[in-house]
Structure formats: structure tokens, C-alpha cells
Amino acid sequence: MDRQTRAQLDTWVEALWQERMTRRAFLQRGVGLGVATSLLTEIVGLFTRQVAAEPGASPQVLERIKQEGKKLFVYNWEDYIHPNTIPRFAKEFGVQVTYDTFPSNEQLLAKLQAGGAKYDVISPTHNFVPIYIAQGLLTPLHHEQLPNLQNVLVRFLNTPFDPGNTYTVPYGWGMTALAHNTTYTQDDPRLGSWALLFESGPQRYSGKLGFTDEREEVIAAALQYLGYNANSRTKDELRQAGDILLRVKPHVKAFYPGAEAKKALITEDIVVAHSWSGETVKAQAKNPAVVWSLPKEGGTGWFDTMAIPKAAPHKFTAAVFINYMLRPDVAAENANTTGYATTNRVAIEQYVAPQVANNPAIYPPAEALARVTFLETIPDALLPFYEDIWTRVLGA
């Protein structure tokens, strides 16, 4: 209570004492004053609130974070983090974090290219990383600032997409294949094949088919159904994939942006879908009839990364954040809720809940993993042809 408020209250107490004011009026005014004061405190607090750092982080680190202004802007995929992860970081390092999400790689890239958005940490998917590097949009990482990088599974390190992990470190990984609702599909002879979507789809589930709107993944699914490599660069094969998609399109409910398909799977608005593994897992938690299927022709795999844009205003804080995300307990916390696997070896060994670790939709057994093709970057020279196929599919 500030001095003015107290003085006001004193006058009223005095008035009450001298019976110039009734008890009721005193109470009314008192409550009014209380509400007004707390509102004012609240508003002032919005401008002045400081996050106090937890003890534990080293003083040098805290000092550098302080020099950068104790702020961090994180731009991540939708639905891709445990609700406690950011608050915990904010508390531990005394940083005010602004957390924003994006629904597609193209959107993230366009935003970065435009140059206006000053994010500190972004999470592009592995096959987009070469484009960011070629355009010079990322800052090289100082590995001595990222000791927790040693926790990451070797197979996700030093990939062709970012040799030596100069610019990115792996975050979560997942697959894109089939989700279907067993109430509708249990007696379908095409179970376990992309034919469930591309052949049974138009016949049995017309209007109840869903797709993600990730161009590469949708075209890859059609390629795999046709028996071609998901990374095919043959124009004829790509054209055939486009034709298949055009044929199935009249029966498709929607090409769902980002994490949208999950709701439709839960409510059974769609019953067979081209879907991300994690969204399927989360849908299944709400509707047990929804199941994950990695077709015999194969599915696609991807891993998301964490990187620091060249224009990032808080580069050191960003590195601290990335190192924090690579901590086994933090990585496991994320993996336990997002429905996607962590690339963190120590996290899997020590922290991930058994029901998550044993879920084939999250950590596929070796024989299933063999059917997962990790997507490669579309060569720049092929892009106009490739994009034209996609435009025709969506525009028809």
C-alpha cells in the first residue's frame, strides 16, 4: 500500500471513529479503494516486473544474459513443447521469453527472408536447413557453449544437411505416414499399405480423408504408394505422383495446416489421414480408435533443429536456451508430451516414460525404422517443376 492510499484510509478510519461515516460506507469505499489499488499495482507490475534468476546458473552466464537485456524470442512449431519448459528456463536464467509458433517451414523461411522478424531461436526441419545456410540466414554455433550436444544420438549429428553441426542442433524427430480410425477401417483388406488412403480412400472413405499441407511430405506419400523412392527426382515419377493426388483430391476433406488435423481425427471428421506421428499419438490419447500405421511401402522421416538466425538480437541467451533444451530432463519432458521422439540419447535412456519409449508411433522398432526415408532438400533447379505439380494439385 502506498503512502497516499494509507493516508486516504486513515482519514476514513478517523471519520468512522468520529461517526461521521457509517460502517457500511466505510466498507464500500474500502473495497473500492482496494480494487483500484490492486489494479494499479497490477498495471505498474506489467511494466516493471523483473524475473529473478534462480541460483544454479553460473554468474558469468547470468552476467552475459544480463548484458544482452535478459530477453529471448523463440519461434517454434505449433504444439511442440511442454508447457513448463519455457517458464522453467525463464525462472532459472532470469530471462523474459517471448514464445511464438509457426505452422509450416515455408512460412518460417519467408519470415526470416523478409528480415523484419528478430527471432533468437528458430526450429527449421532438417531438409530446409541447407536453404537457410545457402542464404546466409544463420549464425554459426559456438560448440563450447553447447556442452549438452554430447547427449544427442550420433545418427542425428553431422548429417549432410549441416555437416559438423555448424549451424544447427537436432531437436525432436518424427515420421509422416498414415493415421486411421479402426472403427471404420478394421475390415479393410488394404490395411498396412498407402492403398488404404489412395485406393480405399475414394471408395470407402470419400470425404473423410485428410492430408497435411506439407508439400514435400504429401508428394512423397504418393511416390511411396506408387513404389518409387520418396526422394525421387525423376520428372515422370513426380508427374505420376501429382496425377494420383489429383485423382484422390475430390475425396479429401482438407489439407490441414500445422497441427490442425488432430482435431478432425479426434472428432472422426476424417478417418484415414496422411498424418504426422505426434499428432496421431495426441489424437489417439483422446480417441483410442485412432491408430498409427507405417505402411509397407514406407513413410517419411524428419527431424527439427534449433538454430540462431543471423539477425538474432540475443545470440548468447539463445545458445544458453539451446543448451538448456539439450538437457536430458528437459528433452524428455518435451518428448513425453509432444508425441514426437527426442534425439537426445541420455533422455531416452534415463528419463523418457516407458509407455512413450515403447510406443511404435514415437520410437519405431528397427524393422519399421528401416522403412522410414528421411526427406532430402529439393534441388533448386527442380523446384519450379516440383512446385508446379503442387500448385496444380491444390489449384485444380
156 contacts 343 by C-beta, under 8 angstroms: yes
Task: Give min distance, CB of 313 to other proteins, in A.
Answer: 23
Residues 80-109 that bind other proteins (CB under 8 A): 104, 106-107, 109
Task: Give min distance, CB of 254 to other proteins, in A.
Answer: 3
The reply to whether 253 sits near other proteins by the rule CB under 8 A is yes
Q: Strand ranges (DSSP E) for the chain?
A: 71-77, 96-102, 121-122, 168-181, 209-212, 252-256, 272-276, 290-293, 299-307, 341-342, 372-374
Region near other proteins per CB under 8 A, out of 235-243, 355-363, 367-375, 379-387: 379-387
What is the 3-state composition of the chain as percent helix, strand, coil, each rounded to the nearest 5?
50, 15, 30
CA dist., res. 9 & res. 23, Å (int): 13
Three-class SS state of 201: helix
Residues 342-361 that bind other proteins (CB under 8 A): none
Q: Which residue has the cell 505498474?
A: 44
Q: Which amino acid is at 234?
A: T
Task: Give min distance, CB of 263 to other proteins, in A.
Answer: 8
Q: Which amino acid is at 332?
A: A
Task: Give min distance, CB of 103 to other proteins, in A.
Answer: 10
Out of 110, 353, 370, 382, point to the residue binding other proteins (CB under 8 A). Answer: 110
Residues 180-209 that bind other proteins (CB under 8 A): 207
Rg of the chain taking only CA atoms, in angstroms: 26
Q: How many residues bind other proteins (CB under 8 A)?
A: 33
CA dist., res. 363 & res. 348, Å (int): 10
Judged by beta carbon, residue 233 or residue 392, the one nearer other proteins is: 392
The reply to whether 289 sits near other proteins by the rule CB under 8 A is no
CA dist., res. 396 & res. 379, Å (int): 25
The reply to whether 380 sits near other proteins by the rule CB under 8 A is yes
> To the nearest 10°, the Cα dihedral for 73, 77, 81, 86?
10
Out of 11, 84, 96, 135, point to the residue binding other proteins (CB under 8 A). Answer: 135
Task: Give min distance, CB of 226 to other proteins, in A.
Answer: 22
Judged by beta carbon, residue 246 or residue 357, the one nearer other proteins is: 246
Out of 131, 195, 289, 311, point to the residue binding other proteins (CB under 8 A). Answer: 131
Give which of 295, 338, 68 is closest to 199, Cα–Cα.
295
Out of 269, 289, 313, 357, point to the residue binding other proteins (CB under 8 A). Answer: 269
The reply to whether 10 sits near other proteins by the rule CB under 8 A is no
The reply to whether 395 sits near other proteins by the rule CB under 8 A is yes
Task: Give min distance, CB of 380 to other proteins, in A.
Answer: 6
The reply to whether 61 sits near other proteins by the rule CB under 8 A is no
Contacts of 133 by beta carbon, 8 Å cutoff, 6+ apart = 162, 166, 167
Q: Residues in the site for other proteins, rule: CB under 8 A?
A: 104, 106-107, 109-110, 113, 131, 134-135, 207, 213, 215, 249, 252-257, 264, 267-269, 380, 383-384, 387-388, 390-392, 394-395
